[in-house]
Structure 1
Amino acid sequence: MNSLSHELILGGAKSGKSRTAELRAKAWLTADPARSATLIATALPADAEMAERIRRHRVDRAERVGALATVEAPVELPAAIRQHALPQRLLVVDCLTLWLTQCLMPPGGVALDEAGWRAREEALLQALRECVSPVVLVSNEIGLGVMPLGRETRAFLDALGLLHQRVAALCGRVTLMVAGCEMSVKGGR
């Protein structure tokens, strides 16, 4: 599969990113009954509120796209992409922001150092280059605001921005979500 069939969907919190990715999956499934779709979820229930968010997402997703299978890969995202890729299966990754958080600021865990992160990021990019499935990736665009004061937060913001640039370079389509509305950034319809 050509990486031009991949799409990156960016947006702020509650901008409609996940819903749009689910609509892409629904359209993929509707177009051919031989197709399948799998969501690769990266969230960890670090606290009660996050566990409730995950539960609510699962319920909402099942109502909108019942045939969308789900696997969880909070850290080993490149391996999950490789494992679940098939030419007739769309992969939806939701989301890169949480995956980066698990890698760089894991709750109760040990963060990757710079070399470890670069290796993990390159593994993701290579998995996307080689993927036989079309992939829709969701991530939060958090770089539009004020520069944060904390060193760790600035480093995270930088890492996410660079990740977005590298992933976008491998995607044929990039969409920015604003208030539930799609804005084509690259490769629009």
Structure 2
Amino acid sequence: MDDLRVARSELILGGQKSGKTSRAEALAAAWLAQSAAHRAVYIATAQAWGEEMRARIERHRQDRARRVPAMETVEEPQDIVRAIAAHSRPGTLVVVDCLTLWLTARMMPPPGNVALPAPEEELMAHAVAAAAGPLVLVSNEIGLGVVPMGRETRAFVDALGRLNQQGARACERVTLMVAGLPVPVKGHP
């Protein structure tokens, strides 16, 4: 990875398996290497709604523990604004991975769960501004293809696009991951 200097806040965007999480983990590892007093907290938003997802989450846990063993993991699929506030400290880097799954859980919950009100983008901007330490947000860029056919899918793509725009405005740095390579979008030296 190119620039592993930790910004006050960074939004990492990209498609599936583009290297978003790898960049976030590399930033956390670089942060931890800077000082023995530094901490890193990973806020995981994924929920195991099926066997395949359970296996995927477990594989991610094991990989994360191997790549950044000193990073603490907190599972919070719903209230990430509260989780950011609870864990953000001047010497603690917080990684939220990912906004896409968080939004999915809010807008399209599994059967038996109730959809929550659409996220208030201002709350996310407030969470970024209020973070006491560095913050890394990970999100998918899914609006580059054709317009989806279904109403619910279009609503989700629109909502994620608005959330990503708000995150990009609020964050000091924005990086687009393409084929494992960071493409600077905003705030890179």
Normalising by structure 2, what TM-score?
A: 0.93
Match of 1:181 in 2: 181
Q: Percent identity?
A: 56
Match of 2:81 in 1: 78
Give me the whole-angstrom Cα distance separating, in 2, the residues matched to 1:28 and 1:59: 20
Gaps of 5+ in 2: 1-6
Superposition map of 1:74-113 within 5 A: 74-108=77-111, 109-112=113-116
Query: Amino acid of the residue matched to residue 130 of structure 1?
Result: A
Give me the whole-angstrom Cα distance separating, in 1, the residues matched to 2:103 and 2:144: 18
Q: For residues 118 and 63 of structure 1, do their structure 2 counterparts lie closer, same or farther at Cα, with a shift above 3 Å needed?
A: closer
Q: 1:75 deviation in Å?
A: 0.4
Match of 2:44 in 1: 41
Give me the whole-angstrom Cα distance separating, in 2, the residues matched to 1:74 and 1:184: 28
2:122 maps to 1:117: no
Q: Secondary structure at the match of 1:74?
A: coil
Give me the whole-angstrom Cα distance separating, in 1, the residues matched to 2:157 and 2:21: 21
Match of 1:15 in 2: 18
RMSD of aligned alpha carbons: 1.0
C-alpha offsets along residues 105-157 of structure 1, whole Å, 9 cap, x if unaligned? 11121112xxx3244x3323212211101100001100001100000000000
Count how many residue pairs are aligned between Structure 1 and Structure 2.
182
> Greater helix percent: which structure?
1
Are the equivalent residues in 1 in contact too, given 2:19–2:181 (CA < 8 A)? yes
Give me the whole-angstrom Cα distance separating, in 2, the residues matched to 1:98 and 1:147: 20
Gaps of 5+ in 1: none
Q: 1:96 deviation in Å?
A: 0.2
